[in-house]
Amino acid sequence: MPFDFEPIKDLLVCPKTHASLVLHGDQLVSCDPETRLAYPIRHGDIPILLVDDAVTVEPEAWSTAMRESGRDAESGQPLVG
């Protein structure tokens, strides 16, 4: 069964910064623009929310993930209106 992010998206946060996470491909990406951490989803259904397993996303890829998730591409904050 694939990982279903929608029902729990308000419960999961980045374990390092406590920022919101967005689903982007096979990763959960932190909305914190300073760290730009991404946590893998293994085997399609197991999110690995361990800081030691996180990777830092390049700024351009992070901005793309934020934009595609309906967030501001610079701050990671939700877009209003």
- Distance in Å from the first CA to the final CA of the chain: 34
Give the pLDDT mean for 71-78: 97
Domain boundaries, the chain: 6-68
Question: What are 27-66's pLDDT values in tens digits?
Answer: 999 999 999 999 999 998 899 999 999 999 999 999 999 9
| pLDDT for 69 beyond 70 | yes
CATH 3.40.50.1820 describes domain 6-68 = no
Give the pLDDT confidence score for residue 24 in this predicted structure.
Answer: 96
pTM for this structure?
A: 0.93
Tell me whether strands 21-24 and 37-42 are parallel, antiparallel or unpaired: unpaired
pLDDT tier, 80 (very low <50, low <70, confident <90, very high otherwise): confident
CA 8 to chain centre: 13
